[in-house]
Amino acid sequence: MASSKAYLDFILEQLSGMENIAYRAMMGEYILYCQGKIIGGIYDDRLLVKAVKSAVVLMPNATYELLYEGAKEMLLVDNVDSKEYFGKAVYCNV
């Protein structure tokens, strides 16, 4: 299932206070970049971020998700309605 542009727009609005956020559409999904580095993406209208140490510390109870068999696990950001929490969860991947 592809992600919707509406969900992307919502996520970008939540990140509006952060600098250097960009995205690229890829095969119906969206890859998110911060300061030119991949930090995660929107997959099936779910925000997943790379499971770097700082993200794991910030979200110790996060669910690990696989995009496809053989891929690295990513963290599901489930609190996207909290702009403060959300920004920290994404920024910690830079």
Domain limits, the chain: 5-91
- Give the H or E element holding residue 21: strand 21-26
**CATH match for 5-91 among 3.40.1000, 3.30.1460, 3.30.70, 1.10.357:** 3.30.1460
Condensed to tens digits (0 to 9), the pLDDT of residues 44-82 reads: 999 999 998 888 888 889 999 988 888 899 999 887 877
Residue % of the chain over a pLDDT of 90: 49
Tell me, what amino acid is at 29?
Answer: E
Residue % of the chain over a pLDDT of 70: 86
What predicted TM-score, i.e. pTM, was given to this entire model?
A: 0.84
pLDDT grade for 86, boundaries at 50, 70 and 90: low
For 24-91, the DSSP string reads EEETTEEEEEETTEEEEEEETTEEEEE--HHHHHH-TTPPEE-SSTTSPPEEE---TT-HHHHHHHHH
The pLDDT, as a whole number, for residue 56 is 87
